[in-house]
């Protein structure tokens, strides 16, 4: 397995630990207070149908949880109970705040928590480390780009087609709020005047100086490093040799684009599509009046899709209950009160997910952790 040379395998292990487990601790709830009920009692299920007497849900918040936000979470419990009752499941719901993704995963693996909010990489990790323990229920969604929609209203996933569309005259990174997607991409940008040097896409980055983000950034480093691996290349910190690409760390995606605009690097990896934040490139635009940034910079490669956060359940939950939980969250986030609560997790919508959607995430995990 090809290893990233920056810092060696020990650094890669640290990267994996940071990226997969995230060790984010939000100090408002201690490890012993992850739920407000006795999980040893409430995790007991009806043996025949595996329907919990109390459905235990845990998540790690994106922001600090204060008293007001805990009140919102209590309201979400009631919303879920009402939705499940409508679907024929008269059960209690308890929502707890986990201290870390690791604690939520361990609690699910031991059957103490029935539903957890996990990132796509945490889901991939859990399915590999605890085979058969969990099954994805939902993925969060975001507004899709106009170029991602075909004439039938379906999502375009062919990366070559997306690259061509993103490099077409008149493209402006316009999104559609009625069309939702469950993943996004990292893209590699170059100056359009140099595009002939990249006829083979990412494979032609060999020997180039490429702007990246910190090694824990999904779209700014982790997924790009996997794309390089797929093209028999790797990042190095010094002068690149055969099969190598020099990684220049630049703090912030828009700063990376500015570095490319100002000829400081040959290419950059950033989220698709960082070019639309026009205010961030004002200085360059003033120095280049009448020049369209979308014409000046071109996309030469896209990584595999980076899937949004998941809502994941225990794999052995009753199938009818699983479907009811899926529909409950979809219904709730469509209401003003539900949207306000779930904004705590930066979720704005959901769609039903399939385990196979995360095959590339498992590939990435294996790449990052070859000794697992």
* 142-186 confidence digits (pLDDT tens): 899 999 999 999 999 999 999 999 999 999 999 998 899 999 999
pLDDT recorded at residue 98: 81
Prior bond to 343 cis, omega within 30?
no
pLDDT recorded at residue 71: 83
More confident residue, 203 or 368: 203
Q: How far is CA 75 from the centre of its chain?
A: 27
pLDDT recorded at residue 99: 78
More confident residue, 32 or 242: 242
The per-residue b/e assignment along 361-370, b for 16 or more CB within 10 angstroms, e otherwise, is bbebbebbbe
pLDDT recorded at residue 23: 34
Task: Please say whether the beta carbons of 258 and 250 come within 8 A.
Answer: no
% of the chain surpassing 90 pLDDT = 68
Task: Please say whether the beta carbons of 216 and 19 come within 8 A.
Answer: yes
Task: Please say whether the beta carbons of 364 and 222 come within 8 A.
Answer: yes
CA dihedral (346, 348, 351, 352) positive or negative: positive
Give the mean model confidence (pLDDT) for residues 1-17: 40
Give the mean model confidence (pLDDT) for residues 323-351: 92
Lay out the sheet containing 115-118: strands in order across. 92-97, 54-59, 115-118, 310-314, 134-140, 350-352
Q: Is 90 exceeded by the pLDDT of residue 44?
A: no
Asked whether the domain spanning 146-306 has the same topology as the one spanning 8-141+308-368, the reply is yes
Q: Residue with structure tokens 């995790």?
A: 43
Domain extents for the chain?
8-141+308-368, 146-306
More confident residue, 5 or 136: 136
Q: What is the distance between the alpha carbons of residues 257 and 206, in angstroms, rounded to a whole number?
A: 20
Q: Is 90 exceeded by the pLDDT of residue 31?
A: no
Give the mean model confidence (pLDDT) for residues 21-48: 36
CA–CA–CA angle 334, 336, 338 (5° rounding): 65
What is the CATH number assigned to the segment(s) 146-306?
Answer: 3.40.190.10
Q: Is 70 exceeded by the pLDDT of residue 16?
A: no
pLDDT recorded at residue 133: 96
With cut-offs at 50, 70 and 90, classify the pLDDT of residue 72: confident
Q: What is the distance between the alpha carbons of residues 321 and 193, in angstroms, rounded to a whole number?
A: 56
pLDDT recorded at residue 64: 64
Give the mean model confidence (pLDDT) for residues 28-57: 52
Q: Residue with structure tokens 């995230």?
A: 22
Give the mean model confidence (pLDDT) for residues 311-325: 97
Q: What is the distance between the alpha carbons of residues 26 and 46, in angstroms, rounded to a whole number?
A: 34
Q: Residue with structure tokens 């490429």?
A: 210
Q: How does the average pLDDT of the chain come out, rounded?
A: 86
- Structurally, at CATH architecture level, domain 8-141+308-368 sits in 3-Layer(aba) Sandwich (3.40)
Structure token pair of residue 90: 């008269």
For the entire predicted model, the pTM comes to: 0.75
Task: Please write the tens of the pLDDT for every residue from 353-365.
Answer: 999 989 989 999 8
With cut-offs at 50, 70 and 90, classify the pLDDT of residue 277: confident
Q: Is 50 exceeded by the pLDDT of residue 11?
A: no
Q: Counting every residue, how long is the chain?
A: 372
């Amino acid at each position: 397995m090809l290893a990233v040379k920056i810092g060696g395998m020990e650094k890669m292990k640290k990267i994996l630990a940071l990226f997969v487990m995230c060790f984010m601790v939000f100090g408002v709830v201690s490890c012993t207070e992850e739920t407000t009920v006795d999980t040893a009692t409430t995790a007991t299920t009806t043996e025949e149908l595996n329907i919990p007497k109390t459905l235990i849900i845990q998540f790690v918040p994106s922001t600090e949880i204060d008293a007001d936000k805990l009140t919102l979470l209590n309201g979400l419990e009631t919303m879920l109970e009402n939705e499940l009752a409508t679907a024929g499941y008269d059960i209690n719901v308890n929502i707890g705040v986990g201290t870390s993704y690791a604690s939520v995963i361990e609690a699910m693996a031991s059957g103490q928590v029935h539903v957890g909010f996990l990132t796509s990489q945490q889901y991939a990790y859990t399915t590999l480390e605890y085979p058969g323990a969990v099954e994805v229920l939902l993925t969060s969604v975001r507004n899709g780009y106009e170029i991602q929609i075909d004439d039938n209203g379906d999502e375009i996933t062919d990366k070559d087609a997306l690259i061509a569309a993103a490099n077409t005259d008149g493209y402006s990174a316009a999104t559609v709020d009625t069309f939702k997607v469950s993943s996004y991409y990292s893209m590699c940008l170059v100056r359009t005047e140099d595009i002939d040097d990249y006829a083979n896409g990412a494979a032609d980055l060999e020997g180039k100086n490429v702007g990246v983000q910190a090694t824990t950034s999904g779209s700014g480093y982790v997924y790009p490093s996997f794309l390089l691996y797929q093209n028999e290349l790797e990042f190095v910190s010094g002068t690149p040799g055969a099969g190598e690409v020099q990684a220049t760390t630049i703090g912030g995606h828009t700063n990376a684009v500015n570095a490319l605009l100002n000829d400081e690097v040959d290419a950059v990896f950033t989220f698709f599509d960082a070019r639309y934040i026009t205010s961030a490139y004002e200085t360059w635009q003033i120095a280049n009046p009448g020049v369209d940034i979308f014409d000046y910079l071109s996309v030469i490669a896209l990584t595999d899709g980076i899937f949004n956060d998941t809502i994941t359940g225990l794999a052995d939950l009753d199938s009818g209950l699983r479907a009811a939980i899926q529909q409950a969250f979809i219904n709730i986030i469509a209401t003003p009160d539900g949207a306000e609560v779930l904004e705590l997790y930066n979720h704005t919508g959901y769609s039903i997910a399939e385990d196979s959607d995360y095959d590339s995430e498992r590939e990435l995990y294996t790449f990052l952790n070859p000794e697992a």
